[in-house]
Structure 1
């Protein structure tokens, strides 16, 4: 039996993971390109599992993000199984819903990946695991897929990143996006966690998987190879609301709203091309649920059960300036029916238009070059950015020799916090404008009377 202090001491004695090589790997990563040669991002079925000794992993969260569902392509366990092969050993699954966690493990043990899960133990909390672990259970990576309201802060019970770094200093982190979904005044707490991760040279990747699309990396390659300066980014995200049956998603007090919970991917992708945003320039307007154009005819949830002030907007349209001087815009719509979403991102530079269409399912990239009105079309069949982000994380963890060909992690915690900050700025700007419009309407009505 190990106490938390003992576990920390044991972790500190793992020289291959935690001692001076950590800082060397950190410096090596910082010198690498913030992009990846698209040709190095191979389909999951072409990947060859890494070789070596057992690779211990702890999973935090037993939900859809970790084990998959019919609602989307996410499934971190599946990607780790393909990257590590028989080396993968999931030593613990942390989730207060013990019955659900036990059930998903049982299903895994009925498949060909049984060796990864046959000795996995379920715990309600990370501290419970630490108290009951042995030296052979020390993880090399912790995968955090718990709901965002339980992470990204310094408050007990919502500080999983700090808890991991306390119990397992130097062990790598993979954290799902967004960084958090708490009140806006807690954003600084997320940045303080980012600083701690950086100061301790902890390898950390955040799950903004769209950065790892081959189409996105081709866009980066075109910009880099031609020494271009981005002038503008234009993003649009129209979700198929008929397929969203989770009441929490429609409640801003629980999900933080569609910009923060869902639009975060496109805000992050916009920042990936445009750079840091001047937050003071963010402006936004929204179409609300109670306006004539905001009526939706095929909702699967009973919105009357949600307090009016917590109901989500149907459309949010935002603009901002990047610190470089470039301009960004993003429109999020809760408008489509059926199942498929409609999403696009355009990036403009002198002479160039790069247009990414349908990035979540079958990405297509249209490229217009200087001197031509023609758009080249590039398709990327069988691309799996979820696998690529996991693959890059593992390669960075095992990159003891600082191989320059090892790709840099494309989104660290600080970068994720900046995307989170932008989404909150958009929500706040739209709510300010809505309040101003309401006050102006009252004033006009009073004057008319």
Structure 2
């Protein structure tokens, strides 16, 4: 029996890049093997889509792509795919400006839900780069149509993250705070649209969204008015970048990215969250850490995107076995691929029937919209602070 999948987007999300570990097609091939049937690739850039398909047909994964057709639009795909070629799951790896709204041209997921009733959706993060209100309308439509949707916040599926959740649950801990630090290596980020916050949403909305989501996963709902942020702007002395491999003058000044964002907020529980995002490093290796604090505990996740993330656990000593002291445990989480785990979970849920299978999806659409709200709140807080700062300060010549 085959499992039919429609790929939406022929870029790096679905087919890989040098910048990061995203490559959904490779993981689908690993999960499903000979059962995988890619029924189509939807991408308005036909040259790119055909090149991606030709590459797969020339690889060991060719059997999964022999029935694949290339389409410019969802409407074209809907007119062609029927019967045994109807998709069971659509992987939406198109840019965020094309989705997360009910406005024509920005409504990719709704097009898919209407064209292929019963088809589940796996949507990449962030859910959009448009207004948050549109995302809530999309969420309501998904609920009305009973569409099964998961969003690509794969770090929730990390073995280390799940171990952290287990420690908190087993010890009945109340999270006191979260601290996220994301330092980007920007030298290979050469796509001009990424450096334009009108197109990409900006580094918090588009990139730090993973750490904002992890923060919410541990801290809970955020009191949005409590968010405050400061930024280093592109035109400030500390914001000068020496290893850009593109011409930033092609991006209007008011649309260029901040180089650093430092944000804090309050959770509804009373806990505090902090985030630092920096565009600073050269080469390809990022520097990322995420911490959770609770009484007696510090849980630190180091390099969660890497092939061997590290979980450092400081916990109280054991009373009754000599002097009580703090213990530090370091665990290397090798051979863990949360990207694979998340896609595997989506496929398993689609394949199952009955029971509360939806609960196995750790990042449902409505919850992902809350993360999206937080990222926009941080972006706006940073921009507002910078405007106020610029109005008060004149730099020395």
State TM-score, norm by structure 1.
0.83
Distance in 2 separating the partners of 1:338 and 1:113 = 31
Q: Which residue of 2 aligns with 1:416?
A: 368
Distance in 2 separating the partners of 1:70 and 1:440 = 42
**Structure 2 regions of 5+ residues with no counterpart?**
318-324
Alignment of 1:2-401 (within 5 A): 53-182=1-130, 186-361=131-306, 362-371=308-317, 372-401=325-354
Secondary structure in 2 aligned to 1:66? Answer: helix
Distance in 1 separating the partners of 2:83 and 2:203 = 43
Distance in 2 separating the partners of 1:407 and 1:158 = 28
Does the Cα contact within 8 Å between 2:157 and 2:342 map onto a contact in 1? yes
Q: State the 1:407 CA deviation.
A: 7.0
Matched, 1:431 2:383: yes
Which sits farther off after the overlay, 350-359 or 432-441? 432-441
Distance in 2 separating the partners of 1:142 and 1:172 = 6
Does the Cα contact within 8 Å between 1:174 and 1:206 map onto a contact in 2? yes
State TM-score, norm by structure 2.
0.94
Q: State the 1:289 CA deviation.
A: 1.7
Q: State the 1:401 CA deviation.
A: 4.4
Q: Which residue of 2 aligns with 1:48?
A: none
Give the length in aligned residue pairs: 388
Does the Cα contact within 8 Å between 2:19 and 2:284 map onto a contact in 1? no
Secondary structure in 1 aligned to 2:393? Answer: helix
Which protein, 1 or 2, shows the higher relative CO under an 8 Å CA cutoff with sep ≥ 6?
A: 1
Q: State the 1:166 CA deviation.
A: 1.1
Does the Cα contact within 8 Å between 2:78 and 2:116 map onto a contact in 1? no
Q: Which residue of 1 aligns with 2:321?
A: none
Distance in 2 separating the partners of 1:322 and 1:89 = 44
Secondary structure in 2 aligned to 1:297? Answer: coil
Q: State the 1:307 CA deviation.
A: 1.8
Q: Deviations over 1:290-343 (max 9, x none)?
A: 222222222222222322211211110000011111100001011222221111
Distance in 1 separating the partners of 2:355 and 2:74 = 31
Q: Which residue of 2 aligns with 1:29?
A: none
Distance in 2 separating the partners of 1:403 and 1:177 = 24
Q: Deviations over 1:322-375 (max 9, x none)?
A: 111110000101122222111101101111110000111121000011233332
Q: Deviations over 1:165-204 (max 9, x none)?
A: 112222211000000112xxx2111011112222332211
Distance in 2 separating the partners of 1:398 and 1:148 = 27
**Structure 1 regions of 5+ residues with no counterpart?**
1-52
Distance in 2 separating the partners of 1:339 and 1:129 = 36
Distance in 2 separating the partners of 1:171 and 1:249 = 30
Which sits farther off after the overlay, 125-134 or 384-393? 125-134
Secondary structure in 2 aligned to 1:280? Answer: helix
